Amino acid sequence: MPGLLHEKRCLPPVAGVDEAGRGPLAGPVVAAAVVLPAKGVPRGIDDSKKLPAGERARLYARLRDCAIVGVGIVEPAEIDTLNIYWATMKAMTLAVDELARALGDVPGHVLVDGNRLPRWGYAATAIVGGDAQSRSIAAASIVAKHTRDQIMIAAAESHPQYGWHSNKGYGCPAHLRALREHGPSPLHRRSFAPVAQSVLPF
């Protein structure tokens, strides 16, 4: 389980930041920033990819109750304009900006999953594999993943042919087959090759 070693080395309050949705063909990229409480941290926080959906949902609800959270969302049209890398950097920045407003101040330090940092004014450290090392980053990964999954489940109501309720916009065989049969939707990322190669217009 991720610990607090990185957090203890930093000036508090320490925020963990992670994103969800870099790879899908449809839907937004979502980032979350989380400052955990000094006491009452939920048990079981781990890299969101290691947790079943029900456990993520439980931890998401607990984190919303006990932690300070910021979320940043960048929609598909802006992903196409910026490219996915810069869209992810923007989502992270939006998440920390929202967190700072909730804190009423800037975080003392920001721990970011990955090897690159956004261009911002926050004191920050990038940690490769951070969601497996830092509890704050793991908490952010849970918030980002659950938030994005719920967005895609809701979007599946309007676009049931793509199976987003189960694939969340990733390019699984059923999604690719639906993309070929129906063409892309307004929520597809036009700059991603499988979408750009679709023969039907938007």
Q: What is the pLDDT of residues 79-138, one digit of tens each?
A: 999 999 999 999 999 999 999 999 999 999 999 999 999 999 999 999 999 999 999 999
Angle at 52 between CA 41 and CA 193, to 5 degrees: 115
202 pLDDT higher than 90 = no
201 pLDDT higher than 80 = no
Binding-site residue ranges for a divalent metal cation: 18-19, 113
Query: Structural domain boundaries of the chain?
Result: 5-158
- Give the CA distances from residue 27 to residues 2, 73, 96, in Å, rounded to whole numbers and listed in that order: 29, 10, 21
Chain-wide mean pLDDT for the chain?
96
200 pLDDT higher than 80 = no
Binding-site residue ranges: 18-19, 113
Question: From CA 183, how far away is CA 83, in angstroms rounded?
Answer: 21
Determine whether domain 5-158 maps to CATH 3.30.420.10. yes
pTM over 0.75: yes
